[in-house]
Chain A
Amino acid sequence: MIIHLRIPEGVYLQALADLQRPHPFAFERVGFFSSVLASMGGDQQLVLLNGYHAVPDDHYDDDPEYGAVIGSEAIRTTMQRVLDESRGQFHVHLHHHAGLPRPSRTDRSSLPRIIKSLRTVGPKEASGYMILSDDRAWAEVSLPGSSGPLLAARIAVAGFPLRFLK
């Protein structure tokens, strides 16, 4: 299975701008993209990330051991969005460097649990998590019916110019 992600420029820039804002106590911010799944024929699937949702400041937990910890209200709000909009959700955060980002050990241990919660309420949607850097991106995607997460092969931003983040 080959997975492509496509983001409109406005949504991508909105996410970057939000994730770069300082938080009152957390070291970094997180957000969520809404997603829509479509077939590209053969073994290729397209995930369209068509909306960005910032996590409000008061939905973060103050835990100095981690860059950012979001609380149950943030997760509940995101799960509700899956139910209300019949859309998948992608957790997204920013690594402040150029080049291809990779998930940290903390990302690897904590983010799959969030995705599992989202899959519970939206088993027919594509959900996952994405890490942005200054100029590239990395994402893991859970598709309906798939046994485990799959790495996104391509991530593109439709805008001026076209950007190939991966």
Chain B
Amino acid sequence: MSLAIIALIVLIGMAVGGAYLHKNNMDNIYQKVMDRIPKSSNNDKDHAIDMKKDLMTMMFTHQGPNFNALVISAWLLFIVAAFFSFLLTPQLSEGLVYLKIPELARFSLGPMLFALIPLIFGIIFVVGLRVPRVYGYYIIPIQLKKAMMATWLLPFAAMIIPVYLATIFPYPNSKSFLINISFILLAFSLFMLLSPIFFEAKGTKP
């Protein structure tokens, strides 16, 4: 199994794990709150749903516009960087890569055009999953918040590596390790973006 496939599995595993832990975190908080409230006769199912909505509303804390804007940008850059790392040069497939599309390879703004696909996908992802709202349910310490606001640098760095390799393609074997650095940067940036969920799940304060 190539390193690219392993990296892809790790990234998907982290993303799925983050989603699962977020749901688990929310359920745990709700359960703790419900345990402290005496049971009433109106404890039916509809009432419980309303209670949960109320709780979520009460829990929500706006993290600030700068944080939200930079985290959204970091997510978009992460998706673009992942797209570039796997598909700009042949990592997963020999055929379906940027370098095999003559129109893009010939065009000066080819990388930008190629990035439109992950950008559109990223916007759908961010809006669809309400990513900034997710952070509103967590208490994020100021240090972590600053670190997360600077996270966009990691996917941006990860994006530069496949672009460099594309410009020297076919690159020598001695430079093939560079793409692994890109995979590591991607994994680290994803960890940073999901860190509030991971820390809450672990029960530790960052």
B partners with A? no
